[in-house]
C-alpha cells in the first residue's frame, strides 16, 4: 500500500506543489486507472507490461477531458470543477452497471503476469513489483521536477502573469502537468486493482480524493521527499494505532481525527508540510 500511495502522492505533488493546482479529482483518476486496468487484463487479456502502457495512456487521455475545461478556471473555481468531475466520475462508475457492475464491484482480478509466464502472486513478489514501479515513478518525477519543464511549472506556480509575459504558454503547461500526473496516478490504480483483486467504486470516492490531497499536504509539497513522507505517514498511522491496541472501530475514526488536526496545525504553522519546500498559496 505504501508504494501505491507513494505513486499517488508523488504524482499529485506535480499538480499541487509544482503548479499550485489544488485538485479534488485525484481519486477519480485513480479509479479510472483501476477500471482501465481491469478492462485491459480481464477483457483484452493483456499481460502486465501492455496493461501498464494501456493504463498510462488511457488515464492520460481521459484526464484531458477533465483538464481542458477545469484549467480554464482559477482558484476556487478550479477546485470546484475538479470536485464536480470527481463526483461525475464516481456516479458513472457507480451507476453504469452494465460496464462497471456498479456497487457490486468486480471480483477475481487476476494477478499480474510478467513476460508470459511469471505470475506475481503472494505478498513478497508483489512487494518487489510495486517497489520497482514506485522507485521508477519517483525517479522519473525527480528528473521532471529538476528539468526545464519542472522549472517552467514552478514559474507558472509562482506568478502566472509573469510566466505568460516571458512567453510561456501557461495553459499548455498546466495541461501537461495535469496529464502527466494523471498518467502516473493510473499506475497506482492498476497496482491497487491487482493487489486487492476486487474493486468497487467506493474506493474512489470524494473521501479518497480528500485523503490523497491531505497525504500530500501533510507530507509537504514542492519536492520529492515531502510526498513520500506523507504517503508513508498516512499508511503507517493506522498500523501504529492498531499496534497500540485500539479497537478497529475507534481507530478508524481516531486516525481521521489525527489527520484533520495535523492539517489544521500544519496550515497554521507550517504551510509547506512536514518536509516540503513550497508553502501553499
Q: How far is CA 10 from CA 114, 166, 184, in A?
A: 25, 28, 9
Single residue of 85, 192, 204, 233 touching another protein by CB under 8 A: 85
Single residue of 214, 233, 234, 275 touching another protein by CB under 8 A: 214
Rounded-to-integer distance, Cα 60 and Cα 22, Å: 18
Map the footprint of another protein across residues 174-193, applying CB under 8 A.
176, 180
- Say if strands 113-114 and 118-119 run parallel, antiparallel, or are unpaired: antiparallel
Identify whether the C-beta of residue 212 lies closer than 8 Å to the C-beta of residue 27: yes
Does residue 259 bind another protein (CB under 8 A)? Answer: yes
Three cell numbers, residue 46: 493483456
Rounded-to-integer distance, Cα 67 and Cα 93, Å: 19
Measure the CA dihedral 138/144/147/149, to 10°. -160
Q: Could you tell me the smallest distance in angstroms from the CB atom of residue 62 to another protein? A: 15
Single residue of 45, 128, 143, 240 touching another protein by CB under 8 A: 143
Single residue of 43, 123, 124, 161 touching another protein by CB under 8 A: 161
Q: Could you tell me the smallest distance in angstroms from the CB atom of residue 53 to another protein? A: 14
Does residue 158 bind another protein (CB under 8 A)? Answer: yes
Q: For residue 106, what are the β-bridge partners? A: 199
Single residue of 32, 39, 40, 155 touching another protein by CB under 8 A: 155
Tell me the window of 25-33, 42-50, 79-87, 226-234 that interacts with another protein (CB under 8 A): 79-87
Rounded-to-integer distance, Cα 83 and Cα 70, Å: 10
Does residue 168 bind another protein (CB under 8 A)? Answer: yes
Single residue of 108, 116, 122, 148 touching another protein by CB under 8 A: 148
Q: Could you give phi then psi for residue 97, rounded to 5 degrees?
A: -60, -35
Strands (E), the chain: 113-114, 118-119
Q: Could you tell me the smallest distance in angstroms from the CB atom of residue 195 to another protein? A: 25
Tell me the window of 43-51, 89-97, 113-121, 122-130 that interacts with another protein (CB under 8 A): 89-97
What single string gives the DSSP state of each residue in 99-154? Answer: HH-GGG-B--PPPPEETTTEE--SHHHHHHHHHHHHHHHHHHHHHHHTSHHHHHHH
Q: Residues interacting with another protein, by CB under 8 A?
A: 20, 22, 69, 72-73, 75-77, 79-81, 83-85, 87-88, 91-92, 94-95, 140, 143-144, 147-149, 151-152, 154-155, 157-159, 161-170, 173, 176, 180, 206, 210, 213-214, 217, 222, 250, 253-254, 256-257, 259-264, 267-268, 271, 278, 280-281
Amino acid at each position: 500500500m505504501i508504494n501505491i500511495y507513494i505513486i499517488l502522492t508523488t504524482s499529485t505533488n506535480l499538480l499541487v506543489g509544482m503548479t499550485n493546482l489544488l485538485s479534488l479529482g485525484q481519486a477519480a483518476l485513480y479509479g479510472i486507472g483501476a477500471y482501465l486496468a481491469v478492462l485491459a487484463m480481464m477483457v483484452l487479456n493483456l499481460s502486465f507490461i501492455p496493461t501498464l502502457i494501456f493504463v498510462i495512456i488511457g488515464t492520460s487521455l481521459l484526464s484531458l477531458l477533465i483538464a481542458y475545461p477545469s484549467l480554464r478556471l482559477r482558484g476556487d473555481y478550479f477546485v470546484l470543477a475538479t470536485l464536480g468531475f470527481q463526483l461525475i466520475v464516481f456516479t458513472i462508475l457507480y451507476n453504469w452497471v452494465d460496464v462497471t457492475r456498479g456497487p457490486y464491484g468486480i471480483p477475481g482480478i487476476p494477478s499480474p503476469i510478467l513476460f508470459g509466464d511469471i505470475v506475481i502472486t503472494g505478498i513478497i513478489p508483489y512487494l518487489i513489483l510495486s517497489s520497482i514501479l514506485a522507485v521508477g515513478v519517483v525517479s522519473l518525477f525527480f528528473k521532471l521536477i529538476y528539468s526545464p519543464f519542472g522549472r517552467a511549472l514552478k514559474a507558472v506556480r509562482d506568478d502566472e502573469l509573469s510566466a505568460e509575459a516571458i512567453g510561456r504558454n501557461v495553459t499548455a503547461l498546466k495541461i501537461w502537468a495535469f496529464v502527466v500526473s494523471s498518467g502516473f496516478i493510473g499506475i497506482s490504480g492498476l497496482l491497487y486493482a491487482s493487489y486487492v483483486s476486487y474493486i468497487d467504486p467506493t474506493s474512489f470516492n470524494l473521501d479518497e480524493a480528500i485523503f490523497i490531497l491531505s497525504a500530500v499536504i501533510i507530507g509537504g509539497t514542492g519536492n520529492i521527499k515531502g510526498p513520500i513522507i506523507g504517503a508513508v505517514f498516512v499508511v503507517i498511522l493506522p498500523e501504529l494505532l492498531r499496534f497500540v491496541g485500539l479497537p478497529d472501530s475507534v481507530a478508524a475514526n481516531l486516525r481521521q481525527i489525527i489527520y484533520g488536526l495535523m492539517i489544521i496545525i500544519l496550515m497554521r504553522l507550517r504551510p509547506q508540510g512536514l518536509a516540503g519546500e513550497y508553502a501553499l498559496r
